[in-house]
Structure 1
Amino acid sequence: MSSIADNIESVTRRIQKATIDAGRDAGSVKLLAVSKTRPADDISTAALAGQLAFGENYLQEALDKIGQLTDIPELEWHFIGPIQSNKTRAIAEHFSWVHSVDRLKVAQRLNDQRPDGQPPLNICLQVNIDQEPSKSGCQPEEAIALALAISELPSLRLRGLMAIPDPQQPDEERRQSFRRLADLRHAINLQLPPDLALDTLSMGMSDDLEAAIAEGATWVRVGTALFGARVKTG
């Protein structure tokens, strides 16, 4: 079995090749290691291999690991799961990024609960880009107004958009979904002042990161290709 360090090196090479193939600047795409259900030891191992950004879906599990790993202060924690209103305070206190904001009420709570003295919380607006009935995310036609409202909250920094296209789509249709998200970011940026322009597209996972990078991804969220098949909980 490949080690976590070997897997990080392999995925990093994929990202670098896809970035070059897309004609983009080296280093313009970052790897977010999706560490949900993984023990703190796996995160420590990944950190030793140079991976410092980790995405978590489940708040209590994430808080437990954050508490266990205080000896690695360089870790950057990203919340990427659905957000319940009663969980916003802990998210605002312990994370650097939130990729899954899909309504203004949640954004306002994160803004109000971000502790004084901490930098603004980096926010991605999650968009239900394929308009799937069972998936989280705002509808594409709602995104511009929601982004403009969030951009005015002083303790948040709206960075960009996140989407999870339907994994059952054929590859070309999935790539079109990534393209629609990139086009939506462009449309939002036309409405924002230049100093607030969105610079982030969080899209692409283990199986489709190359297509996402070709369409402009700046964060790719990878779990299985780094840590192996996900451990089921519950």
Structure 2
Amino acid sequence: MSALQERIAEVERRIAAACERSGRARSDVNVIAVTKYVSAEATEQVLQAGLADIGENRWQDAQEKWERLGSQGTWHFIGHLQTNKVKEVVGRFAYIHSLDRLSLAKEIDKKAAQLGLEAKCFIQLNVSGEETKYGLPPEQLPDFAQQLKAYPHIRIVGLMTMAPFEAEAEATRPVFRGLRELRDGLNRSGVLGYEVPGLSMGMSNDFEVAIEEGATWVRLGSILVGK
């Protein structure tokens, strides 16, 4: 078994255990292999190993990989998206995990309209309140969701957050629980007119806690794909 296959098997074991602890079906949790720090060759090995969802943070770093491997997987843009890069990302990445301002929504909607598609987006929220993190303040979510109705080529498929890096993963639980509660509140409000199912949360150091709190997408880099 290769080192990559060993890492995949270990991550799978830990995901299954977290699902069992929280009474969830393993099929409810999707894994995004974050390949931002590895080469196109390493990314190809990840795809060949059966990991179908690829996460990248910057178009500049992803371009070579996407041009070579774009048809082989489902691509997720998980980093901060500058408005001038929207034209490169919409139509290539199936999901954008970092919608956090109306100027970005406007550009995504415009490009999606040109391409005749619906852009699937996660609203990024700064649940922890850290100044170094991107994301909308949670209290602005209801108004933001209301304003998004002006952009018919955007479909909100979930909420996303990044927890602080903690020595003890358990310390991240309030952040993940907070995102789940925000999603549930958004759905109860009915403001978007449709159900928002997804929670993109949890990384290499805290994904098990995120799963216990309801994550539907976990973003795993070094623990999964290596360095």
User: Normalising by structure 2, what TM-score?
Assistant: 0.93
Runs of 4+ aligned structure 1 residues displaced above 3 Å come to 115-119, 168-173
Does residue 219 (structure 1) correspond to residue 217 (structure 2)? The answer is yes
Q: CA deviation at 1:173?
A: 3.2
Equivalent residue pairs, number: 227
Q: Aligned ranges for residues 124-135 of structure 1 at < 5 Å?
A: 124-135=122-133
The answer to which of 155-164 and 109-118 deviates more is 109-118
The answer to which of 74-83 and 192-201 deviates more is 192-201
- Show the counterpart of 1:15: 15
Letter in 2 for 1:153: Y
Residues 78-130 of structure 1 show CA distances to partners (whole Å, capped at 9, x for unaligned) of: 00111111111111131100001110110111111026565412100110111
Identical amino acids, percent of aligned pairs = 35
CA RMSD of aligned residues (A): 1.9
Letter in 1 for 2:10: S
Q: Which runs of 5+ in 1 are unaligned?
A: 230-234
Residues 116-162 of structure 1 show CA distances to partners (whole Å, capped at 9, x for unaligned) of: 56541210011011111121001010112212322552212101111
> Distance between the aligned counterparts of 1:147 and 1:207, measured in 2?
30
SS state at 2:164 partner: coil
- Show the counterpart of 1:207: 205
Q: Is the 8 A contact 1:129 1:140 kept in 2?
A: yes
Does residue 164 (structure 1) correspond to residue 159 (structure 2)? The answer is no
Q: Aligned ranges for residues 47-86 of structure 1 at < 5 Å?
A: 47-70=47-70, 73-86=71-84
Q: Is the 8 A contact 1:148 1:192 kept in 2?
A: no
Q: Is the 8 A contact 2:46 2:225 kept in 1?
A: no
Letter in 1 for 2:69: L
> Distance between the aligned counterparts of 1:30 and 1:219, measured in 2?
5
> Distance between the aligned counterparts of 1:130 and 1:198, measured in 2?
21
- Show the counterpart of 1:232: none
- Show the counterpart of 1:44: 44
Q: Which runs of 5+ in 2 are unaligned?
A: none
Richer in helix (by share): 2
Q: Structure 1 residues 20, 152: closer, same or farther in 2, change over 3 A?
A: farther
Q: Is the 8 A contact 2:169 2:205 kept in 1?
A: no
> Distance between the aligned counterparts of 2:161 and 2:105, measured in 1?
17
Q: CA deviation at 1:194?
A: 8.4
Letter in 2 for 1:39: S
